[in-house]
Each structure stands twice: as structure tokens, then as C-alpha cells.
Amino acid sequence: MPIAKKIASVFLIGIFGVPMLSMLASPTVAQQKVCTVSDDGFAKARAAFAGMADVLRNPRCLNCHGGVDPFTAGKKHEGGLYDVIRDKGGDFLMETFDQCQLCHGDFPGWRVAPMSMSFVGKDNVELCKLIKRNSNSGIGLIDHLRSDRPPFIEVGFKGTRGLNEAGRNMVDNYQPDPIRGVTQGQLIQMANDWLAGLGTNGSSGDIITGDATSDCGCVQHHYAFEVHSEATINTDVVHLESGFGSMPRIPIKFDKDGAFHSDKTPLTQTGAAHAVDCTAQSASQLTISTKGNVVGGKPIDPWNPNEPKPNDRINVTATGETTKATASAQCPKAGSISISSPGPTSKSFTIELDAVVGARSKPTPSLPGVQGAGGSTWIKLIQID
């Protein structure tokens, strides 16, 4: 039965001929950058940030960050209501805070944080995003916590509210009311632990904490490569279609320093063909695994959302391993045949694409050089959660 065997083998060749992943990259429109924080690092970062957030919510920090508003009636300021001093154009003037010295005179420069830095009513994720937005860099944050000028943090830990005698006289049984149970040194340590979990030691220029516009470092994200692959052959004699049916996803896991891997993900590729008066079917079981890293594209000023950044790139090595492949053909006149592949085969491909959600590799023909062949193969980076 040569004809059936020939068709079945053409099919097998077709299956193995599919280069599962393409080699070239195409530029994509820049979107949300991939967050390369590992699960492990994120767990540590989240725990450290929870400790920081408890300090941020302490009244000694919170009251200056939106908790007490001496300019709005009914906003809990023991010391009364004050007018905002503005210039002729209506712009806020720092002279506004000169009024505070009457009672907060033990702390030159006493003032409240702008509402954009309000900590009030924010959960840990919101606080985390706020801290990212308002710090120029990891180092900038550590510096601020260690030695901001004027020393707001220090006075918070001391609990004096900067009150001079006039101010203290307004409080029944005045006593300093410090932040308890945690020291400024421990706050700095928690901030360092947060940054370390995210894969940065507080250095600016880091790609992870560096994107002030994203919630990277505050929320854990996971990604996958989606494999798009179909192959067709259409000639006078043969019509063949082969593909994965749906678009399989290969989840990736970030390890350290932007490196990632994915476990072997099982996939099934099926096909159907008819040729002359024969029909044929195929099924192959394969696994795809990937490894690689996110490189380059370091922003010039990483915490400045307006700074244009060259896109990071993802280098991927994908390995496809066919564990089992069978094809059968039925020819009414010549009989039927089933054949299997001669054992596991494996192929590796290198791919490059932008490190942004939705980036795609350049499509490559699935069956290059095969007469009448069409279909292409490419991968797309997607965010799972």
C-alpha cells in the first residue's frame, strides 16, 4: 500500500517540519512593561512593605499626610483653621506655613504633605504605588527615610509634633507621643528589604522598581507565552491542516535578575489531511519549555514616568520536544496504515521580543520550503494576572 504510507509519511514530515517558534523579532507598540519580580522575592517584598505600611498609618506620619488638615473646617486640627496664602495668580505660597510656627515652632519648616501624598484610607497596594510615585529612586527613598530635610521622619518618631510652649499649652497633659514598637532604623531596614525583594538594593536605574507608572513591586504579576501556530499544505493532490487547536499558553516564572524559565508544558498538535482519495489524521504530543532573560532598556531616570525609555527586550530559548507522534491514512482502494514517529525529537529556537505585555515575535512560515505550504508560527507575551 504505497500511496497510504506515502500520505501518512508526508503528514509526519509536515508535523515535524513545523518550527514551533520563530527566530526574529518585530517591534511592537510600547505598553505595560513586564514586571520581573520573582514569586519568592515578591513574598519577601510584600512582607517588608506591610511593616512599612503600618508605620505610614501611624498617626505621627498619617496626620501630616492627609490626616490633619488645618485649612479645611472640621478636619481635626486642634490648633484651628488657617488660610492658604496665595499669590495674585492664585498659586499656593510656602508662606502659608509660616503661620504654623506660632505653635509648631520647635520644628522649623513644619508643614503638611500635599494631598497627592495622602496616606489616608489607602491599603498596602495603594500606599506602595504612592511611595513609588513620590520617590525619585530606591536610593532616594532610603535617603528620605534616613535624613529628609527638614527631618519630618525623625520628628514623627520623637512624637513631639514640633510643638513649642504655646502649642504644648493647648494640649491637655502634653507629652511626646512617639511611634512605638518600631525604630527609624527598623523602618529603613524594612524599606531596604522591600527593595531587595524586588531585586534591587536601592540603586536607582533598576528596571523593577524603576517604572513609577506601573504597580510592579506592589502587585505580583504572572506572564505566559501564547503560541500561535498553524500549518497548511494546499496542492492539487494534498490538502493538509495542522495546528494546536487553541492557542496554548506556556507560563513563565521569573527567578532572579530578570531571568525566567517555564516548566515543560504539554501540548497536543493535531492535523487532518486528504489527498487523492485518501484521508489522514495526525496527533503529536509535545512539550515546550522556555528559559531566558529580560535585558537592556534601562531608563535614564527610572522613577520619572515622563522619561522616555528604550524598551527592554526578552531573549527566549524555547525547546520543543515531541514525545509521541502518530499519523494514519485511509485509502479506500489501497487500504489503511498507521505509523509512529521514530522516538523523541527535540528542537531549540531562540526568539527575541519586547518586554511589554502584548509583544509578539515575528511570524515565520511554519513549513518553509514545502510546496503549497502556508501558515505561520509566532509567540505573544501575555499577562495572566
In the complex, the residues that contact ligand HEC under the rule CB under 6 A are 55-56, 59-61, 63-65, 68, 70, 77-80, 82, 97, 99-100, 102-104, 110-113, 117, 131, 134-135, 140-141, 144, 148, 152-153, 155-157, 161, 163, 167, 170-171
Query: Which CB, 75 or 256, lies closer to ligand HEC?
Result: 75
User: Which of 258, 266, 232, 248 shows the shortest CA–CA distance to 366?
Assistant: 232
| Closest distance of CB 126 from ligand HEC, Å | 13
Q: Which residue has the cell 522516538?
A: 343
Give 40's contacts (C-beta < 8 A, 6+ positions apart). Answer: none
| Closest distance of CB 300 from ligand HEC, Å | 19
* Contact in structure between 78 and 59 (CB atoms under 8 Å): no
Give 306's contacts (C-beta < 8 A, 6+ positions apart). Answer: none
d(CA 321, CA 152): 60
| Closest distance of CB 199 from ligand HEC, Å | 19
| Closest distance of CB 84 from ligand HEC, Å | 8
* Contact in structure between 330 and 280 (CB atoms under 8 Å): yes
Q: Copy the grid coordinates of residue 280.
A: 489522514
Secondary structure E strands in 332-385: 335-340, 345-354, 364-365, 373-374, 376-383
Q: Copy the grid coordinates of residue 263.
A: 516548566
User: Which of 67, 74, 210 shows the shortest CA–CA distance to 136?
Assistant: 210
Give 286's contacts (C-beta < 8 A, 6+ positions apart). Answer: 20, 266, 267, 268, 269, 320, 321, 322, 323
| Helices within the chain (DSSP H only) | 2-17, 39-56, 59-62, 101-104, 124-134, 138-147, 152-158, 165-169, 184-197
* CB burial string 3-12: b at 16+ within 10 A, e below: bbebbbebbb
d(CA 310, CA 308): 7
Going by the DSSP 8-state scheme, the letter that residue 379 receives in this structure is E
| Closest distance of CB 313 from ligand HEC, Å | 30
Query: Which CB, 139 or 325, lies closer to ligand HEC?
Result: 139
| Bridge partners of residue 322, in order along the sequence | 286, 345
Query: Which CB, 194 or 223, lies closer to ligand HEC?
Result: 194
